[in-house]
Structure 1
């Protein structure tokens, strides 16, 4: 065919597959790829008489896993295909008619997992040959659809639902915080399911990754996950959160953010790097320099923290240099990592908990340590009361949550003669103390934040 008879095609075009039941799918036009490919999951080869066919599922719209189309096509080949990353893998090849504008012709498609790609389909040079010339500076030269037209085409496939489907990933459904989150989600018309972290397991596979739950139930319909991971299962819980994220589910706190917040040393380094003021903190491996380590944080009294302590556990006040030296060396003798931190005497056993949700401090409370205790902690008998924080304290709380990339965070601040200092940031903050102290419905704020993130309107 002469060049002047070839039609001009853009760098991206809309395709239609009648036999596959796909009303529209956006394709990246790539003359560098020989064979076209389409996103496919749950691929199964079946026999129809003497012929092999393939059943597979397609999520035709990027960032919309609520629409899944069940497709069938005849298997014509198995080929080794080299991906854009240079890795070769065997892919199944099917043949089916494709429509671009007014043109319909047969096309070979490899079935590939393109979930991480911007386009759910790639149109290769075999499909273009003797039909089109590519103008990479243009898009939709054949046909263009507005978002309203795409919505109309897929209207029959949209699942009718009155609310979101949310998973609460935690360990104990009887905890106040977990019960309140479930109540808040249901009150807003959402379906929420409690998932025990330790009863979920995952399938790692390029074509069809999965998360399953107790007995083989496949978890594939959630819109969002609220992680409430206890420290003892941080590693496994974060692995599950990453898997949910790989499946396109919105996770209110990411695995990376949770891991950073749980590593007190790394978090402290991030705070220092980002000019967030914390009490002077020391860390050392060898017991040889214990005396200098104590001196470095202004001497006793000082705080000694286990790196993975939480809820006030694993935090010790050493009142003399000799006591501090003994405790530090004892921890080091059993290869336990600790932080040594200056003691802020003027705080008088008080600190402030700021509850941050999506870049906003939604509530604040002051915690007062029980008489004889140095640390204000409700789990260990401390008392909570409502408090109005200063602009500087609010700015500190928001910056700390942002540095760790936490959408939901409990930020602990202490008032000192040097101004507000950041103590730590909790990625699974409890609701009971702060809701009772402030009278605010924080569980509802968390659900509202998910709705805004997913652009859900009831």
Structure 2
């Protein structure tokens, strides 16, 4: 039976799919290939070919076991195209069992296992697939060595040895599977639609049946009117039909972005984080004052205006080495380590001569270039990672070459993270903590925490949890 993943009747899109052969008669594949799962009604899906992984897996959501004529089955939804939460295949398959799988990040997960026909290079055979949420992965499917055994040889330097379907062919395969939004209308107010975090939030909302729209905050403008306030967008379109807004405002746009968020609130639109909470979280000095007044432990910090006070300021935080922070800095930018008293004096006075507002903070050597990012959503720490600085760096920042891995936090660290988010009135927050010599210390609370590091390390759908928090607050019951 011919089970090609491509429609050869469309001559203008045809290309060769002849099987490259060696004397072994095995299929030669690259590190990524397109294949099909005809029994699951998946005509084309891009797979990561990974001989280092034992088990194959497919991206699946809304996984539900059930009985069919007394036998165990499982139903689930597959979103076969990357960065596309609208295209949905509803699948049912006999349940083979459950299997504990250890991911590349070391996370152990119990997954349902189904069996399906794999179609590739005009050949077919049966494989086992585990069902898991692969939203944070680069591919919707992983083809492990059990599925390849005796059938394939992998050239890891090559890709798409068997060809690629055009966008037209993919559209013809999936046009009847594009899900129309039936849930909330949610706007993502941000600056860069291609940023990982923004793409993931849009995708997660679409997967849960919501109409998602990216709103570039530079293209939004306000009509102030006591009786009929309006938000306008690009050439006069009035934004008056949103149920919720997710503000993710870059630091350089804090003032304007918070003005827009505040206006949405005045129009009665729910915002995941409020403008007031974002504003105070972006003011490093104000936020530290709020946090310490709430009884939370922070590194000893100094703030002064006159260069005449520089020497006392340095001694106040325990002397060099110390950290100098620009109040407007973020993601590790504007944060400098002064290793000696002379360097600290020069650095502080240079910043003051430029009329820059800075904080001077004790350097916690025991942290050893590491910090903990606790991701808080709706009053819960949903995941925690340990961030380790790149060699030669003191800042544990993945944007500057650092690494991230899952970590278990203590009860005290959890208490600090939750109280910090509550003190700042943030529904979603990234709370950064370092482990001092005797106790954990709170560094910062981020109102627009990035998702790439936390999802990459945990392989969990953090973006989906943010959408669920909106559903909960708006009492939306559309998705179980």
TM-score band w.r.t. shorter chain: 0.5 to 0.7
Match of 1:271 among 266, 271, 291: 291
Q: Which residue of 2 aligns with 1:309?
A: 329
Q: Considering only CA atoms, is the larger Rg found in Structure 1 or Structure 2?
A: 1
Give, in angstroms, the shift of residue 418 of structure 1: 2.7
Distance 1:274 1:260 in 2: 14
Match of 2:451 among 411, 431, 434: 431
* 8 Å Cα contact 2:182/2:211 also seen in 1: no
- CA deviations on 1:239-297 (whole Å, 9 max, x unpaired) are 00010000000000001100111000000111111111000000000010100000000
- CA deviations on 1:321-348 (whole Å, 9 max, x unpaired) are 1100000000000100000000000110
Task: Name the SS of the counterpart of 1:169 in structure 2.
Answer: strand
Distance 2:304 2:208 in 1: 49
Task: Name the SS of the counterpart of 1:433 in structure 2.
Answer: helix
Distance 1:270 1:308 in 2: 17
Distance 2:347 2:193 in 1: 37
Q: Which residue of 2 aligns with 1:225?
A: 245
Say whether residues 1:338 and 2:351 are aligned partners: no
Q: Which residue of 1 aligns with 2:254?
A: 234
Task: Name the SS of the counterpart of 2:319 in structure 1.
Answer: coil
Give, in angstroms, the shift of residue 162 of structure 1: 2.2
Q: Which residue of 2 aligns with 1:377?
A: 397
Distance 1:418 1:214 in 2: 54
> Which runs of 5 or more structure 1 residues have no equivalent in the other structure?
1-159
Q: Which residue of 1 aligns with 2:53?
A: none
Q: Which residue of 2 aligns with 1:262?
A: 282
Give, in angstroms, the shift of residue 161 of structure 1: 7.6
> Equivalent residues in 2 for 1:316-335 (5 A)?
316-335=336-355
Give, in angstroms, the shift of residue 308 of structure 1: 1.3
Distance 1:381 1:318 in 2: 21
Distance 1:361 1:234 in 2: 25
Task: Name the SS of the counterpart of 1:455 in structure 2.
Answer: coil
Q: Which residue of 2 aligns with 1:350?
A: 370
Distance 2:342 2:190 in 1: 41
Task: Name the SS of the counterpart of 2:412 in structure 1.
Answer: helix
Q: Which residue of 2 aligns with 1:283?
A: 303
> Equivalent residues in 2 for 1:77-92 (5 A)?
none
Distance 1:181 1:271 in 2: 29
Q: TM-score, normalising length from structure 2?
A: 0.62
Distance 2:460 2:363 in 1: 32
Task: Name the SS of the counterpart of 1:396 in structure 2.
Answer: helix
Task: Name the SS of the counterpart of 1:373 in structure 2.
Answer: coil
> Equivalent residues in 2 for 1:400-415 (5 A)?
400-415=420-435
Match of 2:223 among 180, 185, 203: 203
Q: Which residue of 2 aligns with 1:182?
A: 202
Distance 2:407 2:292 in 1: 27
Distance 2:375 2:272 in 1: 14
Say whether residues 1:296 and 2:316 are aligned partners: yes
Match of 1:449 among 463, 469, 478: 469
Distance 2:445 2:306 in 1: 27
- CA deviations on 1:20-39 (whole Å, 9 max, x unpaired) are xxxxxxxxxxxxxxxxxxxx
> Equivalent residues in 2 for 1:38-57 (5 A)?
none
Q: Which residue of 1 aligns with 2:86?
A: none
Distance 1:454 1:258 in 2: 21
Distance 1:351 1:313 in 2: 16
Distance 2:395 2:417 in 1: 19
Task: Name the SS of the counterpart of 2:240 in structure 1.
Answer: coil
Distance 2:445 2:294 in 1: 15
User: What is the aligned length?
Assistant: 299
Task: Name the SS of the counterpart of 2:182 in structure 1.
Answer: coil
Distance 1:393 1:161 in 2: 40
- CA deviations on 1:97-139 (whole Å, 9 max, x unpaired) are xxxxxxxxxxxxxxxxxxxxxxxxxxxxxxxxxxxxxxxxxxx
Distance 1:381 1:423 in 2: 20
Task: Name the SS of the counterpart of 2:212 in structure 1.
Answer: strand
- CA deviations on 1:144-163 (whole Å, 9 max, x unpaired) are xxxxxxxxxxxxxxxx9820
Match of 1:360 among 372, 380, 394: 380
Q: Which residue of 2 aligns with 1:86?
A: none
Distance 1:447 1:302 in 2: 40
Q: TM-score, normalising length from structure 1?
A: 0.65
Say whether residues 1:164 and 2:176 are aligned partners: no
- CA deviations on 1:378-397 (whole Å, 9 max, x unpaired) are 00000100001111000100
161 and 301 in structure 1: CA distance in 2 versus 1, 3 angstrom threshold: closer
Distance 1:312 1:369 in 2: 11
